[in-house]
């Protein structure tokens, strides 16, 4: 699935979202947040004149999920290295991805994190901006997890090979 497929229906989704905003959710998940992160990365790539669509990859999403859960549970972690010493590349390979990967991690010491907070953390870091704007990163997996006092978002970017 391409990220551009999410961009087109945003106006319709906003209209529907406004209509049901007052209704309580039966089950909350972070799917919309995760997808919005992918859309924001796609937008950054398009502003960088990338000519490819960004594809959501389930293997990269699994690697992102593993690390998001690890960072959420292990307060000493604050970046790319896992509690077991694993790197983003090792996690992606273990999830079945073949190719080169990079990773961005956002941590917020609160119950929730917004797309704006995520992009503020990543956009102004030159190393993370380089990863997000790299046209060779044609695949992405995003995962987010929350606890009462910590929110973690991990994006794993892939260059299939």
| Each residue's pLDDT tens digit, 48-107 | 999 999 999 999 999 999 999 999 999 988 888 999 999 999 999 999 999 999 999 999
Q: What is the pLDDT of residue 22?
A: 42
Interatomic CA distance for residues 76 and 123, integer angstroms = 24
* SS3 label, residue 32: helix
Q: Which residues are 105's β-sheet partners?
A: 154
CB atoms within 10 A of CB 122: 22
Q: Which residues are 121's β-sheet partners?
A: none
Q: Decide if 149 contacts 106 (C-beta within 8 A).
A: no
Q: State the pTM of this model.
A: 0.82
133's tokens: 């704007």
User: What percent of the chain has pLDDT above 90?
Assistant: 74
Distance between first and last Cα of the chain: 19
């Amino acid at each position: 699935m391409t990220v551009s497929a999410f961009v087109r229906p945003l106006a319709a989704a906003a209209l529907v979202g406004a209509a049901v905003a007052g209704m309580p959710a039966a089950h909350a998940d972070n799917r919309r947040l995760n997808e919005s992160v992918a859309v924001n990365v796609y937008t950054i790539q398009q502003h960088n004149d990338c000519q490819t669509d960004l594809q959501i990859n389930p293997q990269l999403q699994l690697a992102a999920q593993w690390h998001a859960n690890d960072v959420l549970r292990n307060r000493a972690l604050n970046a790319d290295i896992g509690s077991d010493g694993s790197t983003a590349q090792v996690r992606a390979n273990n999830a079945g991805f073949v190719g080169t990967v990079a990773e961005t991690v956002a941590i917020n010491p609160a119950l929730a994190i917004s797309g704006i907070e995520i992009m503020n953390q990543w956009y102004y870091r030159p190393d993370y901006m380089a990863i997000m704007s790299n046209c060779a990163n044609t695949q992405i997996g995003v995962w987010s997890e929350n606890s009462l006092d910590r929110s973690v978002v991990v994006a794993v970017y892939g260059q299939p090979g």
